[in-house]
Amino acid sequence: MADAKVIPFDDDRSRGSRGAGSRRRGSAAESAPVGEGPGGEVQPLPVRGAAAQDPAAEPEEPEGPKEPDESPGARPTTEGGVEDGGLERRVAAGLSFLRRRLTGDYEVDDFGYDAELTDQVLMSLLRPMYEKYFRVEVKGVENIPAQGGALIVANHSGTLPLDGLMMQVAVHDRHPADRHLRLLAADLVFVLPVVNELARKLGHTLACAEDAERLLAQGELVGVMPEGFKGIGKPFGERYKLQRFGRGGFVSTALRQGVPIVPCSIVGAEEIYPMIGNSKTLARLLGFPYFPLTPTFPWLGPLGAVPLPTKWTIQFGEPIPTDGYAPEAAEDPVLMFNLTDQVREQIQHTLYKLLVQRRSVFF
């Protein structure tokens, strides 16, 4: 047997290869296949393409590792892909937040609204329910003015007022101008322990004309649900049928301040607690406007208080301007009735449209 020749691997060349079966790109003489000619001479086989036309072409350099991006927008990362120093910054920010809380070095407005606590803590607690549990889809957020006061009027439902909280998260997270929504809440909210303090911190205030006008005059977004307890406590058989919108007080408030009215329609909240009954006796004993009976509550105890994971849609409609009316228009009952009916009809029509488009209660 003839002695076999051992051909050593070129370390530098092997690094340029992309795999065991791939070839390193080079000159025609290096990459051309070879064959045995007459007399046992090894001759290169014909090569087609650019390499055959230019035999003196320089070999291509193998691709090496890319240089790190040093552009101004590039962020240095660690080996795990986490932003370099990001953890340290978050820890430092958290410690600074705790220090301000402990020393009282933070601000609240005249209504008790704590902007820092809302942004850093309370919204973070509500966001998983908004994004993961109810999977809220928001439409028409561009209809909310980027600046100045505006009154957002929405339908109310769901046995517990979670729809107001989800609407507040929607405005906070989705509006391009990072606006905050100040909700007008019922008296009951401000007599309940713990709930009272949290509502104030979130920016809620009493549902009265004086507070609403002060907030609108300061250029705030104010949210109101005129159905009140009649809407949130209605039976499941009347779902998505709007109740009476009070006496139109929200319209009078908007007219006095000359701010637009933005109708808002919420689909999905009606099914989180299907209210099949109302224990009026327990409601009177506890001082509640109603005591809901659902397929799970109170039969399953605390577990029955867990809402069903329905799919929500929140749509903000086109604003209705009020700055074209004279100041005395706020005292015109006919005008208030017509504007109230216009807002109510727009919300109801949008609810029906969203219900037709909805594929499923849960998906």
- Tens of pLDDT, residue by residue over 193-205, are 999 999 999 999 9
Peptide bond into 298 cis (omega under 30): yes
Q: Average the pLDDT over each of 166-170, 261-265, 307-311, 322-326 and give the range with the smallest value.
A: 322-326
Report pLDDT digits (tens) over 234-245. 999 999 999 999
Q: Which residues contact 251 (CB under 8 A, 6 or more apart)?
A: 261, 322, 336, 339, 340, 343
Instruction: Flag whether pLDDT at 171 surpasses 50.
Output: yes
Distances (CA, A) of 286 to 110, 297, 302, 306: 31, 16, 17, 21
C-alpha 86/C-alpha 119 separation (Å) is 19
**Burial class for 270, CB neighbours closer than 10 Å (0-12, 13-18, 19+):** buried
Instruction: Flag whether pLDDT at 146 surpasses 90.
Output: yes
Task: State percent of the chain over pLDDT 90.
Answer: 67
Question: Which residue has better confidence, 56 or 156?
Answer: 156
Q: Which residues contact 108 (CB under 8 A, 6 or more apart)?
A: 114, 201
C-alpha 228/C-alpha 184 separation (Å) is 10
Average pLDDT over residues 319-332: 91
Instruction: Flag whether pLDDT at 275 surpasses 70.
Output: yes
Q: What pLDDT was estimated at residue 85? A: 65
Task: State percent of the chain over pLDDT 70.
Answer: 77
Q: Which residues contact 272 (CB under 8 A, 6 or more apart)?
A: 134, 158, 159, 160, 162, 307, 308, 310
> Shortest CA distance to 255 belongs to which of 363, 340, 350, 145?
340
Within 10 angstroms of residue 317's Cβ, the number of other Cβ atoms is 20
Instruction: Flag whether pLDDT at 232 surpasses 70.
Output: yes
Mean per-residue pLDDT over the chain, rounded: 82
Instruction: Flag whether pLDDT at 41 surpasses 80.
Output: no
> Shortest CA distance to 164 belongs to which of 207, 194, 193, 115?
207
Q: Which residues contact 284 (CB under 8 A, 6 or more apart)?
A: none
Q: What pLDDT was estimated at residue 340? A: 95
Q: What pLDDT was estimated at residue 104? A: 86
Average pLDDT over residues 323-331: 89
Strand 261-267 to 221-224 pairing: unpaired
Instruction: Flag whether pLDDT at 90 surpasses 90.
Output: no
- Map residue 114 onto helix, strand or coil: coil
Q: What pLDDT was estimated at residue 24? A: 39
